[in-house]
Amino acid sequence: MNINGLTRTIGLIGNPVEHTLSPVIHNNISKRMDIDSVYVPFRVEADGLDKAINGAYELNILGLNVTVPHKNAVKEFLVDIDGAARDIGAVNTLVRDESKHGYKGYNTDYMGLERQIKEDGIELSGRTVAILGAGGAAKAVTYMCIKNGASKIYILNRTIDKARQIAEDMYGLLNNDTSLYNSFCDSSKETDKDNMLIKDIVVDRISSKEYIIPISLNDNNVITEDNLIAFQATSIGLSPNIDKVVIEDKEFYKKIAVGVDLIYNPATTKFMKLVNENGGKAYNALKMLLYQGVAAYELWHKISVPQEIIEEVYLELKRSVYPKDNIVLIGFMGSGKSTVGKALAERASMNFIDSDEYIENKAGMSIADIFEKMGEDEFRRIETETLIELRDNLSNTVLATGGGMPLRRENAILLKEIGRVFYLTAANRVIYDRVKEDTKRPLLFCDDPYSKICDLMKERRPLYEKACDVKVDTNSNDLEEVLAAIS
Ligand code: NAP
């Protein structure tokens, strides 16, 4: 990162901010898009909020995220507010507005969740929704469900008055000319059965107040519908209290077709496990966090972040939230992955896996036979399936990979999810000297193996470099030197 006089500052205000993941999102987008911008968290006390915002403007700060406890209080220090943020009553993003000499507030939390559910193929239109919780997040979820055409919404909370308050707030918005009312009318679709507009059905329910139904968590059995879309928006189940969930009753989970837990740590919460065990499909909301950040970044820099960059940033986010203690070695044949991997595993008391051997054991035949009998496509499928299995199960392991493994983008992403990736490099001539007597390298069965190595390396080197975290030079053939560079 090269900070200079033109570098634009963006950041976060909240308290506490020490464990925020937002720098991972924003600084990675800037790095990958070559945008001269740096993201910094600032701890701001409640009684200093106005001074912090005025000071930020005077310091030419381009934009800020806002987190607890300032998401509501910040509204009074803004020069403008987006319609959805006004409706939800919470602001998590400030965008500099030179013409008004201050910041405009947005709520990108709900935009992030909306983008996640679209990407996960969850269609809310015409569906009955159950929202667990009635805090700030639950309010944004309720808003997003109405906006996207849900036909009925239950809000279940320990403190029922808070659920009632959200329902009242939303009825108020739906009975007035608000941003929510307008977008709700726009998004209304026909139902399959009788060609009725969902809006017409819902308008009836709104007038009789049977559209948003607040209930106590203990009364969840009053929900008679099944095929529910459920959102878990309480703070229960968050790591380290991973065995907790606000509703234990299996009958409730049998009614859920799709469950989204706003908690993303652990990756699979108890709520998600119960949804899965009872036949539903469950998601956590790490993508919501990603996309609220992407939406803020796009507002600040007035750009659209390409999908490929979003995927790379998501990978870095996952690596920060779910860190793995594995080591992955990649590189061309003869780069020393097996030798180095075994020595490293022994020295560090880690397990060792050679991915080619692992695949051969799993398939019950050699890789050459898999190629011959099943074809290359099938081999690539097995390779990717194996990496998914290893990603979900490996710990404290050194994984040496086949030379072609990281060449596919999908595999390169999985390898980084498995652990820290080291690329063992060596000059073409050094590789040739190491493998020239080896008779088990089908790729080199040709008249001029050295030229073949040069051609393959030209193609593969940039892909290895992209797939790794660290490059390790093995030209010296000095094992100790290589091990020192990795540990
Ligand atoms: P909040 O305003 O503090 O609300 C907390 C909610 O949890 C309330 O409904 C509260 O019920 C309920 N709750 C707390 N302790 C409970 C208990 N012992 N038993 C039953 N219910 C309990 O928090 P929030 O901002 O809405 O956040 C809720 C969750 O969403 C948090 O875990 C947060 O990390 C997550 N979140 C995720 C994202 C994301 O990007 N993925 C974004 C925002 C929030 P009462 O009203 O009865 O106290």
Within 8 A by CB and 6+ apart from 33, the residues are 303, 305, 306, 309
**Is any ligand 1 atom within 6 A of the Cβ of residue 141?**
no
Q: Among positive and negative, which fits the CA dihedral 293, 297, 300, 302?
A: negative
Closest residue CA from atom 38 of ligand 1? 262
Amino acid identity for residue 127 in this structure = R
Which of 72, 92, 234 has the most ligand 1 atoms within 8 A of CB, as the residue to mutate?
234
CA 145 to ligand 1 center in whole angstroms: 18
Structure tokens at 90: 């919470």
Contact between 481 and 468 (Cβ < 8 Å): no
**Is any ligand 1 atom within 6 A of the Cβ of residue 164?**
no
71 is catalytic: yes
Within 8 A by CB and 6+ apart from 252, the residues are 220, 221, 223
Q: What is the pLDDT of residues 42-66, one digit of tens each?
A: 999 999 999 999 999 999 999 999 9
Within 8 A by CB and 6+ apart from 478, the residues are none
Q: What SS3 class is residue 321?
A: helix
* pLDDT top residue among 448 and 41: 41
Nearest CA among 248, 238, 258, 235 for reference residue 130: 258
> Is 462 a residue whose pLDDT tops 90?
yes
Mean pLDDT on 483-487:
91
Q: What SS3 class is residue 222?
A: helix
Q: Taking all residues of the chain, what is their mean pLDDT, rounded to a whole number?
A: 93
**Is any ligand 1 atom within 6 A of the Cβ of residue 155?**
no
CA 44 to ligand 1 center in whole angstroms: 22
Helices (H), 302-375: 307-321, 337-347, 355-363, 367-374
Structure tokens at 124: 């809310």
Mean pLDDT on 96-110:
97
Percent of the chain clearing pLDDT 90 (strictly above): 84
Q: What is the pTM of this model?
A: 0.90
State the pLDDT at residue 195: 63
> Is 371 a residue whose pLDDT tops 90?
no
Q: What is the pLDDT of residues 228-263, one digit of tens each?
A: 999 999 999 999 999 999 999 999 999 999 999 999
Alpha-carbon distances of 251 from 220, 227, 274, rounded to whole Å: 9, 13, 10
State the pLDDT at residue 194: 63
CA 190 to ligand 1 center in whole angstroms: 34
Q: What is the pLDDT of residues 172-212, one digit of tens each?
A: 998 887 788 777 766 666 666 566 667 777 777 777 788 99
Nearest CA among 192, 188, 223, 224 for reference residue 206: 188
**Is any ligand 1 atom within 6 A of the Cβ of residue 132?**
no
Q: Which of 31, 51, 71, 250 is catalytic?
A: 71
Within 8 A by CB and 6+ apart from 475, the residues are 425, 426, 427, 430
